[in-house]
Amino acid sequence: MPENRLIELLTRKMAGEASDSELHELDEMLSEHPDAIDTEEIFTQIWNAKVQEEDVNYFYKKHKKKYQDQFESTESLEAFAPRESWFKKHRFTSAAIFSLLTLTCSAYYIFSSTQKTTTATVSEYTHIVAGKGIRKAITLPDGTKVWLNGDSKLSYNAKMNEEDTRRVSLTGEAFFDVAHDKEHPFIIRTAKVSIKVLGTAFNVSAYPNDKKCETTLLRGSIELTVNDDSKQKFLLKPAEKFALINEEREKTPKNGIHQNEGGTLVIEHVTLVKVANKEYVAETSWTDNTLIFDNESLEDIATKLERWYNVKITISGQSIGKYRFTGAFENETVEQALSALQIIKSFNFKINENDITIY
């Protein structure tokens, strides 16, 4: 991972000088490299402290205590300590703060690179990947249970129990039943949003190319932050869901409650979907191996079918892609699923191994 570029992007973001392309680059870097979350946390602590002398000293002492065994001597530790006279003599510009951040994080990377098996390192991150057509159940080291949907990736520190904060990184969709630990918050990082919890059950859908990044809460409470607007936080209650909708791909809904550069932010109640006299929670039914869609376009359903059955679907004709359906699939094959949809709307399809054309 390019550490210098990460430091530069984090500094530009916190100084309010990052462009849209730089923010996008940073989100992708944080999502692809879970260890970068540690660096982001260091930056945030220093920046939010407004670089006051007592705050920096507190942070330094905490950092020193955590990585003390990685230094050759106490003297080498003191070389990094902020000097009182320096803080009194200089005003803190973004350039000065950048220098401090760079120094701190450079030290952090030195510590990380020299760590042995007795200390958590980047190499100890575990990456769980569920390919298309695969759903996995995982128990994390802290006892948190995770169900990972198809075409998804979860990364976490194998020694998360030794950290102040339990952190994981998610690309795709997962259902979390978080082990309660009020002393050690559980944080999930996706490309667009970050979620902080103590102990609760909820679903997160954050596929990179989807129109929506969605979080659905079943039990407990969560605090959600949009990555490019860290000052704006949302608290969800049970049976509520949050969605960040890409306006470029989907018209802004009437119940949108907030606007930001990344799209419309919506909070609404979870509603049950009724199919054949049965009621389902569409957002979490996949954990019971049931695929639910509620008044969704064939274009969006095709994306779900690709992940569910590990196939590639091409739709020929925009009008066909706009057909809307409500339904549920459990044990059907992809051919049976498409045949069922044909009964509701007229279209044809052709299957060639894992490639499907709808026309």
Model pLDDT for residues 153-196, shown as the tens digit of each residue: 999 998 898 889 999 999 999 999 999 998 899 999 998 899 99
156 and 237 in a single domain? The answer is yes
pLDDT at res. 335: 96
237 and 307 in a single domain? The answer is no
What is the per-residue pLDDT across 51-61, written as a single tens digit (0 to 9) for each?
Answer: 444 444 555 55
pTM exceeding the 0.75 threshold for the entire prediction: no
pLDDT at res. 98: 56
pLDDT at res. 117: 35
DSSP 144: -
> For residue 214, with 0-12 CB atoms within 10 Å meaning exposed, 13-18 middle and 19 or more buried, which class applies?
buried
211 and 303 in a single domain? The answer is no
277 and 177 in a single domain? The answer is no
135 and 231 in a single domain? The answer is yes
CB atoms within 10 A of CB 117: 8
Give the residue numbers spanning the domain of 224: 122-269
What is the per-residue pLDDT across 72-126, written as a single tens digit (0 to 9) for each?
Answer: 444 433 443 444 433 344 444 455 555 555 555 554 454 444 443 334 444 578 9
130 and 247 in a single domain? The answer is yes
- Last residue in a domain, options 247, 269, 291: 269
Nearest to 342 by CA among 355, 327, 353: 327
136 and 97 in a single domain? The answer is no
Question: 257-264 — which CB contacts under 8 Å span 24+ positions?
Answer: 258/232, 260/226, 260/228, 260/229, 260/232, 261/20, 261/228, 262/192, 262/226, 262/228, 262/229
Range with the lowest mean pLDDT among 117-121, 144-148, 277-281? 117-121
pLDDT at res. 1: 57
324 and 210 in a single domain? The answer is no
Q: How many domains does the chain have?
A: 3
- Whether 18 contacts 94, CB under 8 Å: no
The mean pLDDT value of the chain amounts to: 78
205 and 172 in a single domain? The answer is yes
Q: What is the CATH number of the domain that holds 323?
A: 3.55.50.30
pLDDT cut 90: percent of the chain above it: 51
298 and 342 in a single domain? The answer is yes
58 and 167 in a single domain? The answer is no
What is the per-residue pLDDT across 189-247, written as a single tens digit (0 to 9) for each?
Answer: 998 899 999 789 999 999 998 988 999 999 999 999 988 776 778 999 999 999 998 75
